[in-house]
Amino acid sequence: MDRVYEKPLPEERLFGILPNCSHAYCVGCIRKWRRSQDFRSTVIKACPECRITSSYYIPHKYWVSDVGEKEKLIKTFKARTGKIRCKFFVQNSGHCPFKSDCIYLHELPAGQLPQRRQQLLRVPTVSGVACAGELEH
């Protein structure tokens, strides 16, 4: 593991604090882990060490190990991110792929209304082949 405080650039001297376990990593390392294409989403959203899932991480200049301090950090981080509009929610007219796991604000800009998603007509199948009598509607 890299030594965070020995990184050459100040913006690299950050920890990635995982809210659901006691492990912390260099923020660059946790970002690299989460960008990995070699594993399923459930694996990369989990701690590389204990495998407890955390849907987000908190960039922070100090390693926070005290439970009370960590709870305060999480609360502050979620309050701050909760004021920032979710880019997926805005771009997708009111729909976010992260649903309740998203920590950002699900609010559209003033005057923009959410679009209803069109539901696809599902055709019943038998062994993967549509039944002829069921296509006539």
pLDDT tens per residue across span 58-78: 999 999 989 999 999 999 999
| Within-domain flag for 133 | no
β-partners of residue 85 are 105
In this structure, the answer to whether residues 46 and 95 fall within a common structural domain is no
Q: Are strands 58-60 and 24-26 parallel, antiparallel or unpaired?
A: unpaired
Question: CA separation (Å) from 81 to 13, 55, 67, 72?
Answer: 21, 14, 21, 14
Look at the pTM and tell me if it is higher than 0.75.
no
| Structural domain span for residue 93 | 82-120
β-partners of residue 15 are 26, 60
Q: Which amino acid is residue 109, in one-letter code?
A: P
What's the confidence (pLDDT) of residue 135? 39
What's the confidence (pLDDT) of residue 92? 85
In this structure, the answer to whether residues 48 and 113 fall within a common structural domain is no
**DSSP alpha helices (H): ranges in the chain?**
27-35, 41-44, 67-81, 87-91
Domain total in the chain? 2
What's the confidence (pLDDT) of residue 47? 93
What's the confidence (pLDDT) of residue 134? 43
Cβ(15)–Cβ(59) below 8 Å = yes
In this structure, the answer to whether residues 72 and 98 fall within a common structural domain is no
In this structure, the answer to whether residues 73 and 86 fall within a common structural domain is no
Q: Which residues contact 112 (CB under 8 A, 6 or more apart)?
A: 90, 93
List the CATH number of the domain containing 37: 3.30.40
What's the confidence (pLDDT) of residue 137? 40
Query: pLDDT tens per residue, the chain (137 residues)?
Result: 568 877 888 788 899 999 999 988 999 989 999 898 888 888 888 999 999 999 999 999 999 989 999 999 999 999 999 999 999 988 888 889 988 889 999 988 876 766 665 555 555 555 555 444 443 44
What's the confidence (pLDDT) of residue 19? 94
